[in-house]
Amino acid sequence: MEIFNEVLVNGSSIQVWVALLAGVMAGMIFGALPGLSATMGVALLIPFTFDLSIMPALALLIGVYCAAVYGGSIPAILFRTPGTPASAATIFDGAVLAARGEAGKALSVAALSALVGGVIGTLLLIALTPQISRFALRFGPPEYFALATFGLSMIVAISESSVRKGLIVAVFGLLISTVGMDPLTGYPRFIYGQASLMEGMPFIPALIGLFAIAEVLSMGGLKSGNTASSESKIARFPSGSDVRRSTPTILKSSFLGTFVGATPGAGSDIAAFLAYSIARQQAGKGDKFGEGEVKGVAAPEAAKTAGTAGAMIPLLALGLPGDSVTAVLIGAFILHGVQPGPLLFQDHSGLAYSIFATVLFAHILVFIVAVSGVRILLRVNQIDRRFLQSGILILSLVGAFALRNNLADVWLALAFGVLGYALRRGGYPVAPLLLALILGPLAEENLRRALILSGGDYAIFIQRPITVVLLLAGIAALFYGLIRRRGAPA
């Protein structure tokens, strides 16, 4: 009862709501601009919270976090340019919908899925934090390797027309992901004397190149005219059947996202890609993934927002960050005198539940802002494509630079642009490349870390239940995918 009162008092403070709304608005912008990540948004707003009292300060930062993760999908759908790594998975179907003049539908489905994902994630956070955090702690190096392997087994499912081409691209992605300092010995690999590559192939410039720049390079990019000509046909909201069809996908992705987000070594981006791949793997008869399937938007959107709620679990329960954003959030919490960890629930349970409530309302506010913004956002379709595309190109290049204030990243983005264009011309799918880029380092690092722990004994992968389950699931998914493909030649 006392806790409830404290939550109520915090919730009735106008300051908290203003801070939350401001955070959500700022977060959307940070998320939507490529190169300005959720991490940066939170970090840059921390100084603004110094003069606020604790709850408004946390509300502002949580608002930024939740909104930035959603905001990345806006340019992903409208311009094929992911604002954040997690939103890259939304492009595959979202951008196709937009190109067909159904951007409004894609944006609404994204917002709705994000809302459901966020709410389910937060409810799990409230109800099961101790249990989930204990489970998440059981994820050690072998488990992360198995998780990455399971994810990589989805390559067959997301390879579109040709498994062969999908595999070529995926192996190429794995190779690229070995660029940089060896994670276990520190020896630089394939960096050709470039210090900028020492920390590995920077992911956001790669995304910007593969999507935004490749789009401009492909001749359609600079054609004049705009996509708003068929205004009357634009569906602004999903049809009832779209919602009904996607509901199971949204629910599954939300649970998956929460758990993946809760493991301290994997964040929203991995959650989004896994959810998209699994949705594709389980595609039903009428589903047209890659050709504007609403489920293809719903799955990653639900998973990534659920992932943000999931990442709060180790943060609050253990005082351990689940991803780079929560690492920054922990610093901010500590600066405001809140020490996340088991003691938070013991000594300041009122505060802990106020934080839960803030997360919940942040997701609801994100939804409201997102849906009311759809109308305004669709206006961009009235701009001449050439001006729009050159604007996006400039913003993308600035974004590639802004991430690390490093000019080398701009050249990388341009190189990836040429690569993306070549892949598109040759009919090679981009999805396996991204999956490999995201999961490659996770797999490599943890395979070798696990072997250090076991003294080189591979038995470590069959001695631990979670590892065995994940590895078997990966093998099953691989064969299921191959058999299905044989059954239905496409």
Partner 1 sequence: MNVRDKIAWCTVILLLCALVGQRLMRVDSSGTFPNRSVLLICPYSAGGGSDMLARGLARAAEPDLGQTITVNNVTGGGGAVGFVAGLLAPPDGHTVTMITIELVSLPLQGLVPFQPDEFAPILRLNMDPAALAVRADCPANTFEEFMEWSKRDSKLSVGNSGPGTVWHMAAARLAEAASLEFNHVPFGGASHAVTALVGGHIDAVTVSPGELRSQILAGQVKILGVMSEDRVSYSPDSPTFTELGYPLIFGTWRGLAVPRETPAEVRAKLAEVFSKAAYSTELAEFADAAGLNMALASGSDFALQIKNEKAQIASIMKKLGLIYEK
Residues at the site binding partner 1, with contacts judged by CB under 8 A: 39-40, 42-44, 46-47, 137-141, 181-188, 195-199, 202, 222, 224, 264-265, 314, 318-321, 324, 327-328, 330-331, 334-337, 339-343, 386-387, 390, 393-394, 397, 401, 404-408, 410, 445, 449, 452-453, 455
Considering the complex, what minimum distance in angstroms separates the CB of residue 144 from partner 1?
A: 10
241 versus 405: smaller Cβ distance to partner 1 = 405
Q: Are 325 and 138 in contact (CB under 8 A)?
A: no
Residue of 137, 145, 86 whose CA lies nearest to 264 = 137
Give whichever of 1 and 51 is closer to partner 1, judged by the CB atom: 51
3-class state of residue 287 by DSSP: coil
Output 76 or 395, the one with its CB closest to partner 1.
Answer: 395
Residue 133 CB, nearest approach to partner 1 (Å)? 10
**Least separation, in Å, of the C-beta of 354 and partner 1?**
19
Q: What is the DSSP string of 374-395?
A: HHHHHGGGGS-HHHHHHHHHHH
Residue with smaller CB distance to partner 1, 162 or 454: 454
**Residue 24: CB minimum distance to partner 1, A:** 20
Return the number of the residue (41 or 238) whose C-beta is nearest partner 1.
41
Residue 368 parent element (H or E): helix 349-378
Plot region of 405 (φ>0 → left; ψ -120 to 50 → alpha; else → beta): left
Minimum CB separation of residue 448 from partner 1 in Å reads: 9
- Shortest distance (Å) from residue 176 CB to partner 1: 17
Whose Cβ is closer to partner 1: residue 165's or residue 449's? 449
Q: Which residues are CB-neighbours of 364 under 8 A, at least 6 positions away?
A: 115, 118, 119
Nearest residue (CB) to partner 1, 77 versus 414: 414
CB of 408 to partner 1, least distance (A): 8
The 3-class secondary structure across 193-237, one letter per residue, is: CCHHHCCCCCHHHHHHHHHHHHHHHCHHHHCCCCHHHHHHHCCCC
Alpha-carbon gap, residue 430 to 53, rounded angstroms: 46
463 exposed, middle or buried (CB, 10 Å; 0-12, 13-18, 19+)? exposed
Q: Minimum distance from CB of 466 to partner 1 (Å)?
A: 12
3-state class (DSSP) for residue 192:
coil
Q: Shortest Cβ distance from residue 61 to partner 1 (Å)?
A: 11
Q: Is 171 in a helix, a strand, or coil?
A: helix
Three-state DSSP class for residue 337: coil
Q: Determine the Cα–Cα distance for residues 267 and 80; give it in Å rounded to an integer.
A: 22
Residue with smaller CB distance to partner 1, 100 or 336: 336
The nearer residue to partner 1, 37 or 354, going by C-beta atoms, is 37
Within 13 Å of residue 449, how many CA atoms lie on the same side as its CB?
Answer: 17
Contact 59, 12 (CB under 8 A): no
- Beta bridge partner(s), residue 332: none
Task: Give least dist CB 429 to partner 1, A.
Answer: 28
Q: Show Cβ contacts of residue 14 under 8 Å, excluding neighbours closer than 6 positions.
A: none
Shortest Cβ 62–partner 1 spacing (Å): 15
- Output 34 or 432, the one with its CB closest to partner 1: 34
What's the CA dihedral at 26, 261, 179, 447 to 10 degrees?
Answer: 170
Contact 221, 389 (CB under 8 A): yes
Q: Minimum Å distance from CB 210 to partner 1?
A: 19
What residue type is 211 in one-letter code?
F
Beta-carbon-side half-sphere exposure of residue 149 (alpha carbons within 13 Å): 22
H/E segment holding residue 189: strand 188-189
Instruction: Closer to partner 1 by CB, 172 or 401: give it.
Output: 401
How many C-beta atoms surround the C-beta of residue 29 within 10 A?
Answer: 16
Choose between 37 and 108: whose C-beta lies nearer to partner 1. Answer: 37
